[in-house]
């Protein structure tokens, strides 16, 4: 017995990773369908040792299918996710559309796996923002021990979080810096991304923050604890894959850095690499293709009462998107559907 699974947006970066991870983790599949927009119709994608042809999302009937992993933008999700859900297929959505819907659970399995059971209200489960997902994996075990009051986070987010066009822009701009006549003007980003950092992800809001920063705040409250205060500065950096975060945490109780290190070492989904020597930490280059959220640079912050600093790195296409979605599907199967 296995599940009938649909991957929506199978030709994109996240959709392809979903297929890779379903195969790697030997998710119990009876049948699989890969969907894309009409312009990508017939494109071939890999699933293990098989090659699958994409079908038309607009014409697809979700009746009889168990789980649909959505890796398309909010507009397409708004049109097709309710259709899939109404036809009895549970949607696990990677877009931002349903994250703050009170009738849709927002889930990171290492943090709030039990929330999956709330899917019955709309037949939809939301995947959090990539930068939120890796951060709450790190915060959860520490919060359980000493209760977090406030978080200050600065992110260093790779271009793959934007999509394939952004990857191409970084690649072509970098080449263009060295080859006269091949210079590339910014089009995906408002400023040059090659050899630069851009303190702007998503749209600006009235308070001067960006929507990405707002997402980190509200999603953390929904997933982990509404009492946590969080402020974020989200920055795009010239890295292809892998998000990094500098996280400053203020607790209600004192938490020693050594105890924090031990807690994180035992926590699900985390690998601690924290040697106080050159190279004794993880950078985005090393995290690519890995399931883990890596924690380094754990140290006391003496400028506030009960403060701690840490460095958090993860593959944004995996834990930040595709892996988390597949983990949700695994939990859904174990707790509710029970076919595999």
Q: What is the Rg, in whole angstroms, of the alpha carbon atoms belonging to the chain?
A: 20
- Average pLDDT value over all residues in the chain: 97
Would you say 288 and 13 are in contact if contact means Cβ atoms under 8 Å apart? no
pLDDT of residue 41: 85
Determine the Cα–Cα distance for residues 167 and 35; give it in Å rounded to an integer: 23
How many Cα atoms sit within 13 Å of 121 on the Cβ side? 13
Would you say 6 and 55 are in contact if contact means Cβ atoms under 8 Å apart? no
Of 311, 263, 297, the C-alpha closest to 144 is: 263
Determine the Cα–Cα distance for residues 179 and 201; give it in Å rounded to an integer: 29
CATH of domain 3-127+321-336: 3.40.50.720
Looking at residue 58, what DSSP letter applies? Answer: G
Which residues have CB under 8 Å from 283's CB, separation 6+? 242, 244, 313
Give the alpha-carbon dihedral of 38, 241, 229, 253, to 10 degrees: 140
pLDDT of residue 12: 92
pLDDT of residue 340: 64
pLDDT per residue as tens digits for the range 188-232: 999 999 999 999 999 999 999 999 999 999 999 999 999 999 999
Looking at residue 333, what DSSP letter applies? Answer: I
Determine the Cα–Cα distance for residues 10 and 35; give it in Å rounded to an integer: 6
pLDDT of residue 39: 84
**CA-CA-CA-CA torsion sign (133, 156, 168, 79):** positive
φ, ψ for residue 298, nearest 5 deg: -75, 125
Does an H or E element contain 211, and which? helix 211-223
Check whether 264 has a pLDDT greater than 90: yes
β-bridge partners, 45: 52
pLDDT per residue as tens digits for the range 42-84: 899 999 999 999 999 999 999 999 999 999 999 999 999 999 9
Please state, for a pLDDT cut of 70, what percent of the chain lies above it.
100
DSSP collapsed to 3 states, 140-154: HHHHHHHCEEEEEEE
β-bridge partners, 33: 6
Would you say 118 and 332 are in contact if contact means Cβ atoms under 8 Å apart? no
Phi-psi region of 118 (alpha: psi -120 to 50; beta: other; left: phi over 0): alpha
pLDDT per residue as tens digits for the range 135-148: 999 999 999 999 99
Which residues are tagged catalytic? Answer: 130, 243
Would you say 162 and 154 are in contact if contact means Cβ atoms under 8 Å apart? no
Would you say 141 and 264 are in contact if contact means Cβ atoms under 8 Å apart? yes
pLDDT per residue as tens digits for the range 19-46: 999 999 999 999 999 999 888 888 999 9
φ, ψ for residue 183, nearest 5 deg: -60, 145
Using DSSP, state whether 69 is helix, strand or coil.
Answer: strand
Of 23, 11, 67, the C-alpha closest to 47 is: 23
φ, ψ for residue 246, nearest 5 deg: -100, 115
The CATH class that applies to domain 131-158+197-314 reads alpha beta
pLDDT of residue 339: 82
- The mean pLDDT value for 309-334 works out to 97
Determine the Cα–Cα distance for residues 269 and 291; give it in Å rounded to an integer: 7
Check whether 332 has a pLDDT greater than 90: yes
Question: Residues within the annotated binding site?
Answer: 11-14, 39-40, 99, 157, 160-161, 236, 316
pLDDT per residue as tens digits for the range 235-259: 999 999 999 999 999 999 999 999 9
What is the biggest distance separating any 2 CA atoms in the chain, rounded to whole angstroms? Answer: 60
Please state, for a pLDDT cut of 90, what percent of the chain lies above it.
97
Q: So where are the chain's domains?
A: 3-127+321-336, 131-158+197-314
Check whether 111 has a pLDDT greater than 70: yes
């Amino acid at each position: 017995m296995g599940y009938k699974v649909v991957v929506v947006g199978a030709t994109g970066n996240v959709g392809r990773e979903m297929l890779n991870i379903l195969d790697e983790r030997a998710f119990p599949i009876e049948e699989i369908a890969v969907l894309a927009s009409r312009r990508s119709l017939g494109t071939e994608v890999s699933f293990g040792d098989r090659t699958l042809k994409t079908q038309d999302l607009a014409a697809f009937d979700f009746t009889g299918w168990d789980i649909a992993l959505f890796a398309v933008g909010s507009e397409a999700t708004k049109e097709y996710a309710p259709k899939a859900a109404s036809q009895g297929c549970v949607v696990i959505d990677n877009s931002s559309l349903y994250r703050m819907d009170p009738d849709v659970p927002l889930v990171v399995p290492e943090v709030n796996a039990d929330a999956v059971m709330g899917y019955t209200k709309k037949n939809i489960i939301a995947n959090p923002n990539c930068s939120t997902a890796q951060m709450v994996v790190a915060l959860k075990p520490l919060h359980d021990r000493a209760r977090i009051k406030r978080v200050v986070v600065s992110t260093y987010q790779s271009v793959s979080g934007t999509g394939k066009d952004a990857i191409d822009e970084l690649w072509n701009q970098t080449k263009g810096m060295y080859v006269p006549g091949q210079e590339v003007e910014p089009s995906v980003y408002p400023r040059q991304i090659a050899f630069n950092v851009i303190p702007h992800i998503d749209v600006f809001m009235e308070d001067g923050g960006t929507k990405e920063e707002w997402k980190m705040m509200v999603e953390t409250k929904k997933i982990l604890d509404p009492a946590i205060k969080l402020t974020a500065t989200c920055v795009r950096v010239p890295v292809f894959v892998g998000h990094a975060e500098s996280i400053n945490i203020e607790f209600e109780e004192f938490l020693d850095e050594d105890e924090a290190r031990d807690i994180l070492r035992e926590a699900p989904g985390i690998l601690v690499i924290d040697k106080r020597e050159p190279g004794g930490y993880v950078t985005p280059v090393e995290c690519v293709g890995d399931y883990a959220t890596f924690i380094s640079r754990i140290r006391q912050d003496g400028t506030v009462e009960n403060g701690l600093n840490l460095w958090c790195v993860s593959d944004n296409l995996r834990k930040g998107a595709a892996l988390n979605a597949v983990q949700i599907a695994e939990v859904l199967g174990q707790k509710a559907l029970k076919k595999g």
